[in-house]
Amino acid sequence: MLAMALCSEVVLEATPYRNRSAELAKKAKKTVVRREYTKTDVKELRAYSKARTPVAKIAKLTKRTEGSLRQKALKLGIKLGHQRQKASIT
């Protein structure tokens, strides 16, 4: 009987931790804030593309995700995410 009582106490104590982790996961989730691209945003994106700026750097500067920037560049028909040019030996 004592062993069974100990087992039930362990189960009862473990349950709140599961709920806490679920609550923390819900709190940690960020809300999605959608912002439309303005004309100045598009001009900046074109300038960054022309300057061959890496997408990660553009994302930090514009406070947008890399995926968002790539999708907008695709719709605009401009190239992003330039690869480094290999040094040619001549």
Q: pLDDT at position 70, please?
A: 95
Distance, in Å, from the CA atom of 19 to the CA atom of 26, rounded to the nearest integer, reads 11
Q: Is the dihedral of CA 75, 80, 86, 90 positive or negative?
A: positive
21 pLDDT higher than 90: no
Distance, in Å, from the CA atom of 11 to the CA atom of 14, rounded to the nearest integer, reads 5
pLDDT tens figures, 33-43: 889 999 999 99
pLDDT tens figures, 24-74: 666 667 787 889 999 999 999 999 999 999 999 999 999 999 999 999 999
Full-model pTM: 0.59
Axis-axis angle for helices 66-76, 39-50 (nearest 10): 90
